[in-house]
Amino acid sequence: MTTSSQLPLPPFPPEGEVGKILLTEEQIQSRVAVLGEELARKYQGVTPLFVAVMKGSVIFVADLLRAYHGPVEFDAMVVSSYGDALRSSGVVKIVKDLDTPAAGRHVVLVEDIVDTGLTMQYLLNHFEQQGASSVAVCSLLVREGTDTAGLRIDHVGFEIPHDFVIGYGLDAAQIYRNLPFVGVFTGTVDH
């Protein structure tokens, strides 16, 4: 009798789905540790509210919370401007808002990638309107040359080229979030 643990697993990701690896697991973990230390110093003496912008930031925020030394609260919201597409629709909508009120809080928006800046600008305005004491942005990735005029990104992990990337929370049609690295997606999204 063969158990499921004895069956060979197909390669993941499949051949041809990932081109160049932009950021290794080790590079990411090292930078996340630094970001956690920066944030802990910045919010010493207060309890910030880390807000994960889901789904892409799920792995990043989990590691960032572990790297943060101090009291912190956590909540998550789901915001969409992509759907299953490879390009932003240009329309931001809140699919699921916070359960924790943001009024009077020091909010840290934790994002996987700032691409056009549209989602972050929308969320900054959203939390300012809700009466947050302060709102900071911590993004794992920012695209090179992103026009962020008027958009404040307080903590950046890495600047990356304009390739479509997957891994470490980033997806192509909801797949590949579980890769431990960030790589260039070279496959297709036809599932």
Q: Is residue 9 part of a domain?
A: no
pLDDT at 3: 57
Q: Count of domains in the chain?
A: 1
Residue 8, pLDDT > 80, answer no
Mean pLDDT on 102-125? 93
Q: Is residue 3 part of a domain?
A: no
Q: Is residue 7 part of a domain?
A: no
For 147, the token pair is: 């026009």
Give the structural domain span for 96: 18-185
Q: Is residue 191 part of a domain?
A: no
Q: How far is CA 129 from CA 44, 45, 104, in A?
A: 25, 25, 11
In CATH, what number is assigned to the domain containing residue 49?
3.40.50.2020
Query: Which amino acid is residue 187, in one-letter code?
Result: G
Mean pLDDT on 103-129? 93
Q: How many residues does the chain have?
A: 191
Q: What is the DSSP letter of 170?
A: B
| Displacement of CA 64 from its chain's centroid (Å) | 10
Active-site amino acid positions? 115
For 65, the token pair is: 């919370």
Q: Which residues contact 81 (CB under 8 A, 6 or more apart)?
A: 88, 89, 90, 91, 92, 93, 118, 119
| Predicted structure pTM score | 0.86
Alpha-carbon span 179 to 116, nearest angstrom: 24
Q: Is residue 111 part of a domain?
A: yes
pLDDT at 5: 66
